[in-house]
Amino acid sequence: MEENNELINNPAVEYTDDNIRHLSDMEHVRTRPGMYIGKLGDGSHAEDGIYVLLKEIIDNSIDEFKMQAGKKIEIIIEENLRVSVRDYGRGIPQGKLIEAVSVLNTGGKYDSKAFKKSVGLNGVGVKAVNALSSRFEVRSYRDGKVRIATFAKGDLLTDTTQDTTEENGTYIFFEPDNLLFENYSFRPEFVETMLRNYTYLNTGLAIIYNGQRILSRNGLVDLLNDNMTAVGLYPIIHLKGEDIEIAFTHTGQYGEEYYSFVNGQHTTQGGTHQSAFKEHIARTIKEYFNKNMDYADIRNGLVAAIAVNVEEPLFESQTKIKLGSTNMAPGGPTVNKFVGDFVKTEVDNYLHKHTHILFDAPHGPGALRDDEGVAGFHQRLAALRVFNLGGAFGNDAQLRARMAGKFKRPRPAVPHARVHFPRGMDGIPPDIGERIAVQNMFRAAGHMFHGLLRSQKNQSCIHYCSNFLNDVLLI
């Protein structure tokens, strides 16, 4: 009762005109930084805000490259604290330089003719970097003139224009505000991963990072080769079309692994493009091989990358890590149909032309395999997949080493092994025939021990299987 009386006697907090405030653009960013860059952090995680700041600046330079203006970006990070980025694109139009870096919702990318498939479309990114930096400087080099503006926490300090002999382009320097990003430090490994992803998606682009040259000649193939932790069961399939590129293979590992991108932006949480790829890659493989299997089984062991270019993309947050667009362009085909049509046509055509890619029953990870000669044989053995179906040998390093060494030297013929030649391999040399015979025997042994290994993952079981292989294969 006393509590109720106390509440009644307490006057309400006054709410008057004085409580209504208007924040400038820069004040709003500093007051609510999470709306613009997600978490703040100190740089110890790849998702921390200082990497979003760096990404926002680089995105603009990447957009210049995509518009065929500038093939080189120079990035310097001093003492893991201060960042400078120089591109050789067209340079920010000098008459609007101040507005372009300090007024929200201002930019040239609202005009889709200038930046048809840009990732930075909402006029926020570089302004957020300016507001959240204790020091910020922008230079626009255009036609023999350079306009230079400096800021502190979003407030303009100086603005000058002078003659220059430097190439056209844009230079930006920023130092994140230590009051917001307490004790921050850029981690070189996170920065390098980000930069490599940019080069995978933009073949021909050279990024110079603290004097180190980073580039990619094979796009998504380089991405998978650099990131896969297991040997592919067949060579990476790499297919490109207008506004889409995919690469994939299967490995001996369980689970699925995807790298997806939109307009060069790494969408770490996927989105409509990744969901479409997962659906249609499994459907296409299932239909081609006419196998009655679940899509999840077909995708098991899949490692894949997909990159699409979307006009006016919609992301689920300012950090742009998940695509929400349902259409490839205003009035264009849906993302699902666009990706599905490409995968169905191109992957199906590839499998018809490369008949050495075969389908395996789902006893372990990886639905496809390569049975093309010695290369396919070694890839298959390198993964130790045929007889490692239940994972029982996963911790037996000695046996793995012995098996790996076994297949580096010539082997005698296996007279009683039954050889099943894959399609398109008639008339293969005898040596390869022997190797395929051994492979088929491995497959038979694997099926024989599969149930036992799954139920008895113990040392005696491993010794039994090891002795069998010793006797038959002369290890």
Q: What is the pLDDT of residues 344-382, one digit of tens each?
A: 999 999 999 988 776 554 444 455 665 554 344 444 444
- In 3D, which of 468, 438, 440 has the Cα closest to residue 453? 468
The pLDDT, as a whole number, for residue 265 is: 82
The pLDDT, as a whole number, for residue 406 is: 43
Q: Sorting pLDDT into bands at 50, 70 and 90, what band is 134?
A: very high
Joined together, the tokens standing for residue 393 give: 């040998």
Q: Sorting pLDDT into bands at 50, 70 and 90, what band is 442?
A: low
Q: What is the pLDDT of residues 111-131, one digit of tens each?
A: 554 455 555 544 468 999 999
Phi, psi (5° rounding) for residue 320? Answer: 60, 40
141 bridge partner residues: 146, 169
Average pLDDT over residues 30-58: 87
The Cα angle at residue 121 between residues 118 and 122, in degrees rounded to 5: 165
**CA atoms of 302 and 209, how far apart (whole Å):** 32
CB count within 10 Å of CB 126 equals: 25
Average model confidence (pLDDT) across the chain:
77
- In 3D, which of 37, 29, 42, 81 has the Cα closest to residue 59? 37
Q: Sorting pLDDT into bands at 50, 70 and 90, what band is 63?
A: confident
Average pLDDT over residues 315-330: 83
Q: What is the pLDDT of residues 227-249, one digit of tens each?
A: 998 888 889 999 999 999 999 99
60 and 75 Cβ atoms separated by less than 8 Å: no
Q: What is the pLDDT of residues 149-190, one digit of tens each?
A: 999 999 999 999 999 999 999 999 999 999 999 999 999 999
21 and 142 Cβ atoms separated by less than 8 Å: no
**CA atoms of 416 and 420, how far apart (whole Å):** 13
Residue 428 has pLDDT above 60, yes or no: no
Share of residues in the chain with pLDDT > 70 (%): 67
**Sign, CA torsion 131/132/134/136:** negative
The pLDDT, as a whole number, for residue 34 is: 76
**CA atoms of 77 and 85, how far apart (whole Å):** 9
Residue type, 334: T
Average pLDDT over residues 5-34: 70
The Cα angle at residue 199 between residues 197 and 205, in degrees rounded to 5: 160
Least confident of 14-28, 84-98, 290-304, 417-431: 417-431
Q: Model-level pTM?
A: 0.68
Average pLDDT over residues 15-26: 72
